[in-house]
A and B are shown apart, each in its own frame.
Chain A
């Protein structure tokens, strides 16, 4: 839909919003990236699963076209608001987000089955 041919510049879908804060730590790019670097390793590299969750981000609401126009005039976003430029352009043709593979959100267990979140060590 957006950034299809330019995935490297697509917006980040990961967030690390919960951090036990200490001096010397800093968010580099919103809550997407932290320093020191090791704080971003919220995943297991040996095959196991750590706990992770999903944030329901209601971004593309009916008011979004208006909002993206506003964001473009404010120019407060990174990389010259590239992201909002793309949204603004993409949304002008009134696109349909639904596809054959879409499914209705049921509960967190469904999200877990789909592999979007994990209970990690929790029983």
Chain B
């Protein structure tokens, strides 16, 4: 620990909200710092007078020459230079100069900061990253900040600004960067030692540098950051001021309910603070009155929270469709929120499939949720998970919303039955959703037809429709856009080894595969070969059932014996 006394000088840049700025200047001054206040020349005269009068009792508060300031221009650098020069000239004992704005709030006492600086003697706290490596600037201009000219205001003359940039790019105009300078960028809220700052302000080439930076874009984020690299021997590339930006590059504003978070962050200074955050202004700076603390700022929790906010704004919660999040198709960032399973063809073979499956896996096993006549919730309840009603009309108003809400609001995994008899509108949605597990026995819809006892002519007509629907669905499930996990068997294949297939499904759905040895009662498929042949004879070409020999007066076992399981 160094014994050299640290005296802090504070350059305070104020634009509006002068009453709050005056209050902050008093906090800094009464904490023992020398303060040079720069007030934007555009601020109303009477407000500035009030501020001056209010701070007249503090000899350690100076007012520096006023410049009209505009965001992104050199005027801010000029203001900082003047105010910093004033501090160094008038207060011989100032060892460090810190730049804050009128909207910055010291979270810890000035003596904490002084003690912290004393532990790191001769160190310049200034975020300074080479322009090539910067990835954070929103809007693109990194290196071009230094090689193009920016005579127009970004905020007031946006069109001219953009056009002039485009023109220079097209003409390949490049400014020469002064020899010996390596462009660096970083936060304008820095804390430099007297020696470094003095060297920057009295640099023999300062006129040349100032002229150059006068046309650089946002020079307050690059002037001191670049020149510190030239003069400092000990740069700590980070800011002592907590300043976070959101996804759009706007600074985060802190409110009263961030009090605890800010307290735990142990940062020295935070910005921006909402002008009405009375509790924050009353509470901070906060510290141990007995002894100064040199504790390091601890940003992890704050970073996590702000990171969550950025992620929420940019990516949102997967599978959520609501008032303020209604993603376009394929921009959902997660079409649904959790895995779910769709079973096709199984209930056609096993009438008792639903309860059988429900007792073997931890899931809500529904019937045909997309049946045309209505929603078949588990147990045929009129109201399902998320208080979704079983009305077909309500479901069909927004099938995507119905499905996503069901999966999102249910506590357990959702499993439902599907068939070509159901509404097919969600096929692409299901196929492109990585959360979907789709198990299909193709052609199983023929089994109930075989046992229907309907006139054959009707059966033929129904078979034509169902086959066309299922073929269209298979095309979707075999597309290159498939993101769902699918497993597809044809009817003959499945009937050859139902236990093995169901065991595999149980395992995929988190159940015990052994539980599949005890199969539910299965509909008889004897006569399927003959039945399919009759359909062929009637002009249909059954494509989805697999191989059933055309002549099978025998029991089903004989029909499947010839097949080898793949």
Q: Which residues of A contact B (CB under 8 A)?
A: 4-8, 14, 42-52, 99-102, 114-123
Contact = CB atoms under 8 A, between A and B. Distances in A.
B315 interface: yes
A25 to B, nearest CB: 20
Contacts of B324: 42-44, 49-52, 117-118, 120
Chain A to chain B: the 8 pairs with minimum beta-carbon distance, closest first? A52-B324, A47-B333, A101-B387, A123-B309, A50-B324, A121-B313, A43-B326, A49-B316
A48 B315 contact: yes
B331 interface: yes
Given A43-B324, A121-B247, A123-B309, A49 B317 contact: yes
B309 A46 contact: no
Size class of the B contact interface (CB-based, 8 Å): 35 or more
Interface string B308-349: 111011111100101111111001111000000000000000
A114 B409 contact: yes
B72 to A, nearest CB: 23
A46 B394 contact: no
18 contacts: A4-B389, A4-B391, A42-B323, A44-B324, A44-B325, A45-B327, A46-B331, A48-B315, A50-B325, A99-B383, A99-B387, A101-B383, A114-B409, A115-B409, A116-B322, A118-B312, A122-B309, A123-B308
Given A4-B393, A7-B394, A14 B316 contact: no
A99 B397 CA distance: 22
Contacts of A52: 322-324
Contacts of A114: 409
B386 interface: yes
A98 to B, nearest CB: 10
Given A101-B386, A123-B305, A48 B314 contact: yes
Given A101-B387, A114-B409, A120-B313, 10 more contacts: A8-B397, A46-B328, A47-B327, A47-B333, A49-B312, A50-B325, A102-B387, A116-B322, A120-B324, A123-B308
Interface of B: 246-247, 252, 258, 305-306, 308-310, 312-317, 320, 322-328, 331-334, 381, 383-387, 389, 391, 393-394, 397, 408-409
Contacts of A49: 312-313, 316-317, 320, 324-325
A50 B322 CA distance: 10
Contacts of A42: 323-324
A4 B313 CA distance: 34
Contacts of B305: 123
A82 B306 CA distance: 46
A119 B323 CA distance: 12
B248 to A, nearest CB: 8
A116 B325 CA distance: 10
B247 A43 contact: no
A42 B393 CA distance: 27
A58 to B, nearest CB: 19
Contacts of B322: 43, 52, 115-116, 118
Contact of B312 (A4, A100, A121): A121
